[in-house]
């Protein structure tokens, strides 16, 4: 996971960049590189990945069972 200084405003930055280039305020999109900075990069712990996959399969089974119960109700 990459965390940046823009965070949840990435879509707004993209829209602003499109408008800025479209209106001629910016010549290109290179300005985004100056605005958008990586704060941290988090990588998964490899030894936990298999456990996550196993838990996810259990989660999918619970979702399927819940959907069947909801259909019955």
pLDDT at position 29, please? 93
Phi and psi dihedrals of 11, rounded to 5? Answer: -65, -40
Helix, strand and coil content of the chain, in percent to the nearest 5, comes to 65, 10, 25
CB neighbour list of residue 10: distance below 8 Å, 6 or more residues apart: 4, 36
* Contact status, residue 41 vs residue 1, Cβ threshold 8 Å: yes
Ranges of residues in the chain whose predicted pLDDT is under 50: none
Answering whether pTM is above 0.75, one says no
């Amino acid at each position: 996971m990459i965390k940046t200084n823009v965070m949840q405003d990435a879509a707004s930055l993209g829209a602003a960049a499109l408008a800025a280039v479209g209106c001629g305020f910016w010549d290109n999109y290179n300005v985004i590189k100056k605005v958008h900075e990586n704060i941290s990069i988090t990588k998964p712990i490899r030894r936990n990945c298999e456990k996550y996959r196993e838990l996810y399969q259990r989660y999918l089974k619970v979702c399927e069972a819940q959907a069947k119960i909801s259909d019955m109700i």
